[in-house]
Amino acid sequence: MTRQKFVDQLLKRAKSKPETRGEAFAPANIALCKYWGKRDTELNLPVNSSLSISLGKLGTRTVVKFAKNADRIFLNGKRAPKGFAVRLSDYLDLFRKKGLFFEVRTKNNIPTGAGLASSASGFAALIQALNELMGWKLSRRELSMLARIGSGSAARSLCDGFAVWHAGQRPDGMDSYAETVDGAWPELRVGILEVSARRKKTGSTEGMNRTRETSELYEAWPAQAACDFDELRAAIAAKDFSMLGKTAENNALAMHATMLAAWPPLCYWKPQSVSLMQKVWEVREYGFELYFTMDAGPNLKLLFLKESQAAVRKLFPKVQIVKPFG
């Protein structure tokens, strides 16, 4: 099935009462059990289910209006770079009728394209703003599937707190969506250690395709991810922070190991990334419960509890601390 047919199928029963503007915010999300590899590249269907936690007020706010003659796309108050604008216009093509154009103004309060899930929050905010502008009145599940078409992990940015993105089994992708997981954890903290805000040279889609096609370690990834997914759900249900942190860190390192075994090798880490990882391992040797996770980028995301917040600030003075549940 093509993306256009998928979108048309979802929208055929949608209402259509256009407004003058649509506006929405979506949080970035950090995967604790990673999505790395697609079983269908056209529909962005993942090889494995994944689990994430949102970053609260960190993410993307988007305003969409109708425009004349051509799309007008702005990022953080300026005309968007060509690659960014083309990607959004191509996505908007899926929803436009002949002669329909859009003005999109999107603002990220996180670095764009640096492994902090800005594309996830961006497409999640965009589809929600479009839903309001076009008057579709789609459900959260339907919006999650449409966001997935723009960027796979955007499916999870429709949710607050913990979210699971079901890989699904159907070839048409109608059972692959994200939903919120019950399990508020007010004491949980996420600390962002920004190593680089520069756009990464190898995008996530290109990186995961290369890994799946060339890495000899990738064959073991789906089973590892499935096991980690189950352990993380159990950890959330039991409020077992040790299990949550250990499983999330192990899952991230396993994903990066598959990339390093790809050809050409794929490494998103910077020297400072490795130095920070080693610092986390060092303090843990002294009984301090601190873990990290990393997506396809050089930046670390620390996982710890409220009781450790002051110590984490002392250890990492530049950390940005997020309270996902408060």
Rounded distance between C-alpha atoms, residue 131 and residue 160, angstroms: 18
Spell out a b/e string for 134-169, using b for 16 or more CB atoms within 10 Å of the CB, else e: bebebeeebbbbbbbbbbbbbbbbbbbbbbbbebbe
Pairing between β-strand 72-75 and β-strand 101-108 as defined by DSSP bridges: parallel
Q: What is the pLDDT of residue 42?
A: 96
Q: DSSP letters along 173-215, please?
A: -TT--EEEPS---TTEEEEEE-S--SPPSS-HHHHHHHHHHH-
Rounded distance between C-alpha atoms, residue 197 and residue 138, angstroms: 34
Q: What is the pLDDT of residue 205?
A: 85
Sign of CA dihedral 226, 174, 203, 199: negative
**What number of H helices and E strands is found in the chain?**
9, 13
**Which one-letter amino acid corresponds to residue 189?**
R
Q: Are 35 and 48 in contact (CB under 8 A)?
A: yes
Q: What is the pLDDT of residue 112?
A: 53
- The 10 Å Cβ neighbour count of residue 41 is 12
Q: What is the pLDDT of residue 268?
A: 94
Rounded distance between C-alpha atoms, residue 62 and residue 164, angstroms: 24
Rounded distance between C-alpha atoms, residue 182 and residue 169, angstroms: 23
Q: Are 213 and 302 in contact (CB under 8 A)?
A: no
- In the three-class reduction of DSSP (H, G, I as helix; E, B as strand; rest coil), residue 290 is classed as coil
**pTM greater than 0.75 (yes/no):** yes
- In the three-class reduction of DSSP (H, G, I as helix; E, B as strand; rest coil), residue 97 is classed as coil
Pairing between β-strand 188-193 and β-strand 162-165 as defined by DSSP bridges: unpaired
Q: What is the pLDDT of residue 111?
A: 60
The per-residue pLDDT string of the chain (326 residues; one tens digit each, 9 = 90 and over) reads: 999 999 999 999 888 889 999 999 999 999 999 999 999 999 999 999 999 999 999 999 999 999 999 999 999 999 999 999 999 999 999 999 888 999 999 999 876 554 455 889 999 999 999 999 999 999 999 999 999 999 999 999 999 999 999 999 999 999 999 999 998 999 999 999 999 878 788 888 899 999 999 999 999 999 999 999 999 999 999 999 999 999 999 999 999 999 999 999 999 999 999 999 999 999 999 999 999 999 988 999 999 999 999 999 999 999 999 999 97
Pairing between β-strand 101-108 and β-strand 320-322 as defined by DSSP bridges: unpaired
Token pair recorded at residue 239: 């409020």
**Phi and psi torsions of 180, nearest 5°:** -70, 140
Which helix (H) or strand (E) is 10 found in, with range? helix 3-11
Q: What is the pLDDT of residue 202?
A: 87
- In the three-class reduction of DSSP (H, G, I as helix; E, B as strand; rest coil), residue 74 is classed as strand
Q: What is the pLDDT of residue 325?
A: 92
- In the three-class reduction of DSSP (H, G, I as helix; E, B as strand; rest coil), residue 105 is classed as strand
Q: Are 51 and 31 in contact (CB under 8 A)?
A: yes
Residue 252 is classified by DSSP as: H
